Amino acid sequence: MAHSPGDGEGPHTGPDEDLRRLKAEYDNYRRRVHRDRLAVREIAVSNVLSRLLPVLDALDQARAAGEVVDGFGAVADLLEAELGALGLVSFGEPGEPFDPGLHLAVAYTRSAVVTGPVCVEVVRTGYRVGDQLLRPAEVVVAEPPWG
């Protein structure tokens, strides 16, 4: 079938159509590069934050022992604030409903005061960045007694 120059098909489309196609291709390229850069940034941030989790564990242990005071306490607070600004979120609190996607049960008990699986003790805090789980919270879980 023969194509006329103005029908939008075939090898001889007009210069306006060529320009629109080139602009659309460039816009798609620009969006793809932007999306890829964001993905690489998220991966890099997650990798760095994952490496700092033992430091945060040490701070938690020092706080529990009452050793995070004065200047060291100010440094610890600043570190946690800066990591939070990078998107690090801690989770795992007693009383939270147990979620196997976020919590790792390290012990299990029965309790008459709960109506469903609940975290009753946090052994180790969990962390995530955005939707990415860096480490589940290690918890003791209580469930209601059997019938």
Going by C-alpha positions, the residue among 120, 112, 123, 111 that lies closest to residue 141 is 120
**Quick check: is 1 in a domain?**
no
Residue 10 placed within a domain: no
Domain extent for 101: 15-143
Which residues of the chain fall short of a pLDDT of 70? 1-13, 147
All residues at 6 or more sequence positions from 136 whose CB lies less than 8 Å from its CB, including other chains: 102, 103, 104, 126
Q: Give me the number of domains the chain comprises.
A: 1
Tell whether 71 is covered by a domain.
yes
The pLDDT value given to residue 15: 84
In a domain, 36, yes or no: yes
Query: Considering the domain boundaries, does residue 21 fall inside one?
Result: yes
Q: How many residues does the chain have?
A: 147
What pTM does this model have? 0.74
Q: What is the CATH number of the domain that holds 103?
A: 2.30.22.10
Whether 60 maps to a domain, the answer reads: yes
pLDDT at position 41: 87
